[in-house]
Amino acid sequence: MTLPHTLLEGGLLVDGSGQPGWQGDLLMAGDRIVCLGERLRAHPPQGIDLAAAEVVDCRGKVVAPGFIDAHTHDDAAVLRMPEYLPKLSQGITTVVTGNCGISLAPYRVAQAKSPLTLLGADSFRYADMAAYRDAVVAARPSLNVAPLIGHTTLRFAAMEDLDRPASEQEQARMAALLDGCMAEGAFGLSSGLFYEEAYAAPADEVTALARVVARHGGVYATHLRSEMATILEAMVEAGDCAFEAGVPLVISHHKCAGPANWGRTEETLPLVDRLGERQPIAMDVYPYVAGSTVLREDLVDGVIDVLITWSEPHPEAGGRMLADIAAEWGVDQQSAARRLKPGGACYFQMHEDDVERVMAHPRTMIGSDGLPHDRHPHPRLWGAFPRVLARYWRGRGLFTLEQAIHKMTGLTARNFRIPDRGMLRAGHHADVVVFDAERIRDLATYAQPEQLSEGIEAVYVNGQCTYREGGAALTARAGRLLSRKDFSA
């Protein structure tokens, strides 16, 4: 039996390595890339008959590896809405899940508590990686899932009180759970030491878990203990932890938050470079000046704007400014925030210069950090990747097109050790995006966050055409739960 061939003809092939693109053809068969070349129809590779191939005219378009979202909270979203249009329509073909210490597996509970609620309180049904794998296989998501295991999830699974360090016994229980998940192919460990439920964990607790990950060849990604006044100390802690354990480090959604810290990427980025001389280190970033997470009074300073994304006691507050709600209630913003909890918010806590400086850094990957369970989500959920290309490449010239794509593909696959993806290479899985570089544009805004982007013309996942511009995901849902162990020789 011969596999059906698809020939993407005459596009600008930007291969994900960061090297200059060139005009040519890309040939796919089944779920793999067969080869790249010039005028392949006239000069097919030996032994391949292209008479019956599906030929797609890509002249004037960019053909690139499918984008890899380096930072997501999509663990449950890929099960609940497997077509997953918000990401697919951005050209994303793989999502790295389980970030910020919060993963769905390995933990079972009827009603999860904050911050696990970021994934949906009733989503925690998977006691181990095998159970989560079965769920992904059954859901058949449209894109690939590369799971990290969350430190905070491990704490919930192994500990009664989270306001103290783990005991020796609890530490052993967490290590065993993590070891099982890594043996099943998980890509590494994430932490969210900033969150109350992990804040009491000393560096040693995390280092011991990172050692488990090191044995399996995984990575360690961290939402730092602080992104504000003590960010340098937090970065050194993360650096030491990864160095001692012998794992590559990813600093999640790197930012300097709060007006008092604006401009301090001039200190943090040189520190990253310094650490980089002794250990593997990378960062991810989303292209916006607002962050988004659970609603917390300590993040409400009365200075920065705060937009409510969801509120359990006041669902109608979703999409409204906290200042307006506080004025209406005749209370200060912190009291209003307290009344709206549990909930979520966008905090306009970054400076554009810092965002650009981080994004332009050669170690930085693009990650959306979108929150798919929010009633009125941050626009990064629908727009992050097209926005990098529209605003920061085409508009601001922050990097070349090839560098921008590299930050979304090859660099990310390398940093997370995702096998055979992220580059246009013979033998790689056929995750491919075709887009119009002149038209590509995000339409999602803070006011209207759920908008499809423009200019993403076609998305192929494992060789299957899964999305075409303008709307509905096609019926193909060819995504897989990826495993660190799937390297083909």
Contacts with Zn ion, residue ranges (CB under 5 A) = 100, 223
Minimum distance between the CB of residue 384 and Zn ion, rounded to whole angstroms? 14
Structure tokens at 349: 């806590």
User: Between residues 325 and 408, which has the closer beta carbon with respect to Cu ion?
Assistant: 408
Handedness of CA 131, 133, 134, 136 (dihedral sign): positive
User: Between residues 53 and 100, which has the closer beta carbon with respect to Zn ion?
Assistant: 100
Minimum distance between the CB of residue 289 and Zn ion, rounded to whole angstroms? 16
Q: Going residue by residue from 50 to 89, which x/- string records binding to Cu ion, judged by CB under 5 A?
A: ----------------------------------------
Residues 420 and 27: beta-carbon distance below 8 Å: no
Max CA separation in the chain (angstroms): 77
Q: Which does 155 bind (CB under 5 to 8 A by kind): Zn ion, Cu ion, none?
A: none
User: Between residues 368 and 466, which has the closer beta carbon with respect to Cu ion?
Assistant: 368
Minimum distance between the CB of residue 253 and Zn ion, rounded to whole angstroms? 6
Burial 149-178 (b: 16+ CB within 10 A, else e): bbbbbbbbbbbeebeeebeeebbebbbebb
User: Between residues 190 and 207, which has the closer beta carbon with respect to Zn ion?
Assistant: 190
All residues at 6 or more sequence positions from 181 whose CB lies less than 8 Å from its CB, including other chains: 105, 106, 128, 129, 147, 149
Minimum distance between the CB of residue 369 and Cu ion, rounded to whole angstroms? 4
Minimum distance between the CB of residue 147 and Zn ion, rounded to whole angstroms? 16
User: Between residues 223 and 477, which has the closer beta carbon with respect to Zn ion?
Assistant: 223
Q: How many CA atoms lie within 13 A of 124 on its CB side?
A: 24
Whether residue 115 is preceded by a cis peptide bond, meaning omega within 30 degrees of 0, is yes
Minimum distance between the CB of residue 148 and Cu ion, rounded to whole angstroms? 11
Counting contacts by CB under 5 A, is residue 100 touching Cu ion? yes
CA dist 88 and 85 (Å) reads: 5
# of chain residues touching Cu ion (CB under 5 A): 3
Minimum distance between the CB of residue 288 and Cu ion, rounded to whole angstroms? 13
CA dist 214 and 1 (Å) reads: 42
- 378: left (phi > 0), else alpha (psi -120 to 50), else beta? beta
- 135: left (phi > 0), else alpha (psi -120 to 50), else beta? alpha
Q: Which does 453 bind (CB under 5 to 8 A by kind): Cu ion, Zn ion, none?
A: none
Minimum distance between the CB of residue 227 and Zn ion, rounded to whole angstroms? 9
Q: Which does 363 bind (CB under 5 to 8 A by kind): Zn ion, Cu ion, none?
A: none
Minimum distance between the CB of residue 253 and Cu ion, rounded to whole angstroms? 6
315-374 positions binding Cu ion, by CB under 5 A: 369
User: Between residues 75 and 454, which has the closer beta carbon with respect to Cu ion?
Assistant: 75
User: Between residues 366 and 473, which has the closer beta carbon with respect to Cu ion?
Assistant: 366
Counting contacts by CB under 5 A, is residue 99 touching Cu ion? yes
Whether residue 141 is preceded by a cis peptide bond, meaning omega within 30 degrees of 0, is no
Q: What is the amino acid identity at position 122? A: D
CA dist 380 and 1 (Å) reads: 43
Q: Which does 418 bind (CB under 5 to 8 A by kind): Cu ion, Zn ion, none?
A: none
User: Between residues 33 and 100, which has the closer beta carbon with respect to Zn ion?
Assistant: 100
Structure tokens at 458: 């076609």
User: Between residues 99 and 152, which has the closer beta carbon with respect to Cu ion?
Assistant: 99
Counting contacts by CB under 5 A, is residue 116 touching Cu ion? no
Residues 478 and 461: beta-carbon distance below 8 Å: yes
Counting contacts by CB under 5 A, is residue 408 touching Cu ion? no
Residues that bind Cu ion (CB under 5 A): 99-100, 369
